[in-house]
Structure 1
Amino acid sequence: MLPLITFLVVSNWYAKNVVREKISETYRNTLDIFVRQTDRNLQEINNYLYKMATLDTDVGLLMSSPYGSDNYVLTKVRIQNEINRDIGFYNHLIDTIFLFNESKKSDLIISTSGPYGISQQVLQKNISDIIKSENKLISRNQWLIWKDSILPGEHFAIKTVPVTEGLYVGAIIKMSDIREQLSIQWDDGAIGESGIYKNNGKSLIEPLAGSPPQMTLEQLLVKDEPYRTVTDKTSGQNYMVMSRSSEHADITFNIGIPESNILKGLPYFQKATYFLAFGVILIFAMYLFFIRQIVIKPLQQLIAGMKKISLGMLDMRLKTNETVELVILAKTFNNMAEQIKTLKIGMYEEQLRAQKIELMQLQAQINPHFYMNSLNIIYNFAVLKDYEPVKQMSLHLADYFRFIMRVNRDLISLEEELKHVANYIEIQKLRFPSKLVCEFDLPPESKELMLPALSVQPFIENAVIHGFVNRKQTFRIKVAGSIFAAHEKKYLLLTIEDNGTGFPEGILPGLNGAGPLPQADTSRLGVQNVIQRMNLRYCGEVKISFSNATKGGAVVELLLPLQ
């Protein structure tokens, strides 16, 4: 076997040198083409931003009109239409185009191919710091690399161009989009590993194929050599590593090709390997049969045990044999499984405690405005020496707060909740005599339904606060219910309807879960409180929908499971 092994070593050494040179040349050319194309795209977007800043008349007119004037608004509309058109043209390159008016209340005009709210939050949070950092760049053609956890993928490249003092046009490119373009060149996971890094050695994007090799970033970033051979510390695998840096951004593109993949195509190496393997099989057949009982079976048991542990079967334990090493391995595995089981049980218990505490905190929230208004009403009646309303108001107010402060009960009946609603309406009737009417139409069997406290009253309060605008006509609220069966379960459909102004159209998507509520809209805290408590209590089985009636007024529907 010695001549065969000598031939294999020499041919392998010679083939490695030849193949490395040819393979590295091919992949360097591919990487160079990709990096040059990326730089051309960045330069093209630079040119677009400079043209927009210098030649677009609407952008120039924006600063000449007073903020909020008709000319200013019309100019913004024209600019918005223009960048909406351009974002479609550059959709494969640009994620967001924006104008930032720093001198006029930090006004933002945004067009994006992604979620508008996320792009708006990222810019509002970071644009001032980005402009300051860009002013420190040596070249104005350079793109700044920024990070924000709100954005998918976190990292993005951003470029701003000043139009006049305080007015900037800019664009955002997500690093994840560049990664997708890179993955087109390396779409086969067996080819190698790819990554995007900052030039200072800090990784921006996770490698595209498989798990990253265990190498330092200093080893992966190759600047002055065509390629570098680096060894993975964990697997012992040798990688051919090549890097190229962008001219317009502080990023470096990296590829690492396993040498085992490079050598797959060598026919002589493969034939020699086959002959050698055949000889080894003949010589060591008996030895393999012997170690099957000593090593392979215990390892198979270990693999089966690991699979069962991964599926959640934490009672799995390994049996030991006479091999000292495998006895230690089996004992270590059994100890690990026991620790995982203990940790998982502790984690579930802690999660349940945290949910219960959160439920109690949410249930204990009090509306301070309602409290202060009620005290003012008592004061006014006392000044007028009208003591009978003072008595009624004091009793109703005491009952009201006695109810909402009872956080020691997880659930109450619907009948108790409706009594609390009636008590709240009586307080409001003292504020607005002969102007409030509340009707209840529910089946008798529904009143025994158990639900978290303050599940209905916040919707009534929200209707009075936001819907009762026209104080000259009577404001009517109707609470109706019906019981029906679906999917072998019984449900109560609870409808709360009023004849007020209804929900603003911009609020409905946020209330129905299709988008966020406006940040300044804190008056609907009680409604959000109810939604969160219902989801905690019923694990998402409750459905709450918000809409406007055709004849005017707000409609809230609660679908509750009968328990």
Structure 2
Amino acid sequence: MTFTKTLRFRLLAGFIAVIVPLAVALFMLNLYAMNVVRDEVSQSTTNFLSIHVNQIDNSLEKVGNYLLRLVSSKNYYSDLIGLSIYPEGSSNYFFAKQRIYNSFQDEITSNSYVVVDTFFTYTEKYNELIASQVDYASSQKMNEMLTRFIHNGSLSNSHTWQIVEDAQRYYLVRTEQIQIEPNVYVGALIPVENLMKDLRSLDLGPTGQAMLISNNAVSLTDTTWDNTSLQDMVRKLSVKTEPYQIMNNPDNGKDYILVGFPVMQAPVMLAVTIPDTDLLQKLPYFQRGLVLIPIGLVLLLIMFWIVLKQVLHKPMNSLIRGMRRTAQGDFSIRLSEGATQEFKFLNETFNRMVSQIRSLKINVYEEMLKTQEAEFRHLQSQINPHFYLNSLNIIHSLSKLGHNDLVMEMAHHLTDFFRFITRANREYITLEEETEHIRNYLEIQRLRFPQKLTFEMTVPREYKNQSVLPLMIQPFVENAVVHGMKTGRHVFHITVEARSCSENPGVMEIVIADNGIGFSAETLERLNSGLTTETANSGSLGILNVQHRLKHKYGRSVSIRFQNRTPANNGGELTGGAEVTLRIPFDASKEGNQTDV
């Protein structure tokens, strides 16, 4: 195999033939155009920002003058003082509040404050806030923010704008205090994003940004620049000597043009960063120059694309499609020979592997499914005949004692119990059906052990239609009654609860707990290590049954945990007991919602 016929040589030769002439031409044009682009773009952006910053300063000054008029003009002064003088529930107090609110609305409407969201007044004496918003939908949100601002002790009479952060948003707030009644304040609130609205028309490229930065180098708007870069921006804009500055973004390693101005009325400055690599798009002469690149270069690109498609793209896509169809179970796919020696070897190897997999997989897989299904049906049909005999003995004893009402109750529960057993050949049932069956079982046992057995079942309404395997919970409840009940007068209490798993919201937990004698250390170790046919005894065959059935249906997504409850003092009696936790996925099947015929 010669090197000239390999894929690596063909790709390298095509890359050199196309990229080198193109790189030389673009490099020469870039050297000529870059400085011109920087000067034009920076000058245009500087002019726009200068106008915008002047508008911000004028708006902030206008708002400040209005607040000063409020605390000094006779038209408003009397109403503001009245908020502190009049009783809180009086009509004078109410009308003073209404006149102040109306004055805020009139001021916003008549002067068209674009940046202001809220004018407000606050009475310290009654701890009452009166606020007016331009946007009514944001009224409650602004009121909550102002309340936090006031309660944090941020009120002042400094005649300056303050930067306030609340819920990861920044605001400019200015307050003025009435001198005669120092517990009355008026103020204005401006969300920082309102100062940036007019900058949305700027074309800053895909990674360019317009941002508002505090004098302490804190970005008040979203930005990708780090704190060190922001501090460098503040330093360069504070001592600006050139129309623009060059900034390097350490996040992506690119150079940016920095243009900005400080806002005189507030401790902030407006900054714009424009990607240096995108400036060529703003030079029309350079764009026309790109069109005049020799036609031969375009022909080389077209030829390179055709060769690359035939040599690499076409055989590679064919191989990928074959792999995808094989992963989906289609073993009839075969690939044609490749144009290069590398793809010829790959395609022949792929065809041989697909043929071998097809001849081996199908029979083994089908046989495994049959074996698993047969084992599952056998495990699901197992029942305990001792329970039937005990139940009949109870009915016989109650009948001899003349307790016909208890005989009727026992017969009713047995009827429901046996009806469930005869219908338990379904693959899935609802959790409500399973718990109702357990309730019948426990009612029968309570008749067998009067005054010694109580139970409680907690199944939220939203879990009742969840699908579970039949007879999945009963073996644990039956083992608790048979092996966990203490002798003497101790009342045995058992609980069954369904709940969502805190560790995985997609898993349901079913907890069976009692206050009996609990598990021995040997039994706990044997149960939690996983039962097998060899390690299971007569008392744990039902648990082994459930483990096998759950494993067949849910695989590794199911778990059973056995533990002893922490002993607690209950009326002078030390109680503990056993606890079993089953974890199964939610909605494994919808068959539980079907109706038997």
TM-score relative to the length of structure 2: 0.44
In our comparison, the structure showing a higher alpha carbon Rg is 2
Give the number of the structure with larger relative contact order, counting CA–CA contacts within 8 Å between residues 6 or more apart: 2
TM-score relative to the length of structure 1: 0.46
